[in-house]
Structure 1
Amino acid sequence: MDHVSDQLLHADIYDLKRGYVEDPSLETYTCLICGHQTEKGVIYPDNGLLYDAEKSMRHHINHKHDSMLDYLLSLDKKLTGLTDLQRKLIGLFNEGLSDQDIVAELDGGSTSTIRNHRFMLREKMKQAKLFLAVMELMEEGGRPSSRPGSAAPPKTISSALPGKLGERLPILKEENEKILSKYFIEGLNGRLQSFPKQEKRRVVILRHIAADFEEGRMYTEKEVNQLLEARYADHVTLRRLLIEYGFLDRLPDGSEYWVKQPEGKGKGIKDMKNQRRKELVNEYMNTPRPMGVLQIRNKENGKIYVTSGMNLPGVINGQKAKLSSDFHVSPSLQKDWKELGEEAFAFEILEELKPDPQAANDLSQQKIYTEKVKKMEENWLEKLQPYGEKGYNRRPRGE
């Protein structure tokens, strides 16, 4: 994947598994993959169904990103520590395939080899749990002692950090000054010489730059860029990280930015922001997404792969992500994609189902549409027969 948010990299296991994090102070849920937000108290309509904030977020992750497992498996092996074969096997295990079916999918091996891979993955999970416990104990051991009679811990300035950053990254006053003097060698009002990779240093710099923005004022994206460009050439990275770390906030369409207020402050601006966000979210959620059947066609040999979904743009993005990450369920399609490259394939919509605008709030429509799309896919599979030499689909069992 091109970019992994810092929020995802520092999320706990519970949030990583479900794919989103809750901010109790703002009463929001934020997608760890793309930053999409929902707000408590808002009802989100989608394809005839109504969802509360948390269910809408789960629905977003399933339809926009397929699943958290798919997304995590698509990450670079340097992040997950999984080999290409392990990622592919985990995907096949998740589908519930038998060992014999997995051997057929991999075009080789034996069932005993597959069982051994299952065993090794479980051992890897046990090791990961113990390693996580060791690292957490190590970090806790490095904190100032809180035992009676011990010296008072050095003064920190973590209270100025948003959210729980102050708890996770306690920053000493002397440490803060040292970092700023190192990276702003022309003075604290000057330009940033370079942007560090170490998280604590990044947070110190971001907090300092965030002070350039006035509390209670709304900024356009152009104004934000101008302020950041005066500090550092890569203003896009600064803007993104100021949002991700909670120093700035913005509307979903990026039209307005502002300094993010601690809980209980800036109520007027927060109310205005919430109202505008609700309007934009409702506008998006009430816009039907195309659903139906599509094919991935190899331009060189004509072989096709047929699939379907309730959000065709999301399906296309998901298919490309799986192929680019080398863990697609079709080994033959994956092989050709790897050899020929993305430019050798066309993504073509075979049939589209448009929802009835008069039945937007009919809760029974979602199930009806799902069944219709499934039937459409079955018809196209029967018509095109994308199996063997003609295609990349797996032939249905029993045929």
Structure 2
Amino acid sequence: MQAILNASAAHDEFVKELLVSYGKIPVLVHELILVEVWKQKVFPVLCQLQDFNPKNTFHLYMVIHHEATIINLLETIMFHKDSCEAADDSVLDLVDYCHRKLTLMASKATREGVTTHDEHNLTGKAVVSSTEELQTQSAALEFEISLKAVSVLRYITDHTESISVINRMLCTHNMPCVLVQLIDCCPWSRCSKGEVEKYTNGRWQKIPVEDRLKMTKLDGQVWISLYNLLLKEDCQRKYDFNNFNKNQLLKLRGFLTEVLIDQLPNLVELQRYLAHLAVTDPAPPKKELVLEQIPEMWNHIVRENSGKWKAIAKYQVKETFNPSESDLRLQAQRLAQTYNLDVMESLLPEKPKCGSCGTEAAKRCSRCQGEWYCHRECQVKHWPKHKKACQLMTEATEKIQRELNN
């Protein structure tokens, strides 16, 4: 949160400097992949356990949201070259992670998740269980995580000079063709009831007719990534321009309109390069003996825990995701000390929403100051659900205040 605030306000990014100085960026990448593996291997098993019906899903939600928190932080700090260099060999694991997210997004699987979540919010349909609600939230969150991975990949293409990383992006994953597919299907844009909507600042927004050709930040990130991967000399020597790859890349010519190039003038060089590619057949890359590094984190985590996923899920149900009242109070106290609500609200891209009906809200719960409502009626209606969380937050806040006064 502090890193994003510093970057958005153009202040000294001391969080980034500390992470670089203490060599913690590889730790962040490992945590990111660890949560990704947990969500794929353990979370589905956990939700299917018949004896798992938690009274409180707060701890589960924190784990699910942890991946989004880390990728947000990495998006902020990887903008800088020294962060990319400090990531060292973990950049290879991060490239693999981004490839998994981008291919998932290109398949439109993540967009289906966020669409389902939107429809649930609009209809107000009751969810059968708390675990099903968490699965819906996790699917919706996956779309936003994939969008952040687009930006992280762009920063890697900006800064990396490692032969192993370049080889991984071009030869192993064929990233240019993946990015062409993203340009073609544009998963952050959709038509809904005759209106064009684009996913901006964490939500789908209707785009006026006069702004429909305006490039979004995500469009720009993909185009810059393609520019870096196709026009850098080291990349051109490595990439195999076979018939399939060449035909895929030439699809881009239809998207490189004058309106687009006016918004990102550097793309004129890419346009010229594609025009040249259309009438030539580049020589295949030389087969060289290269001592190549390979990513280890994903394979190591999966190999060490293979066949243990159900046992891990059962253990976590008993020891981690079934907290006592005292554990919940302690966690609430820690969160109240950690997060400054005023600072958090300044980072929100939109106005607060009513906790009951989801419309724009202007009034807070007077006790905990954490939930918003549009009218008194919504607050009364939502009180049975909000009561327990409100009590925990209020007690934690009062305890902290007493400690400060003493």
TM-score (norm 1): 0.25
- Larger Cα-atom Rg: 1
Larger helix proportion of the pair: 2
TM-score (norm 2): 0.25
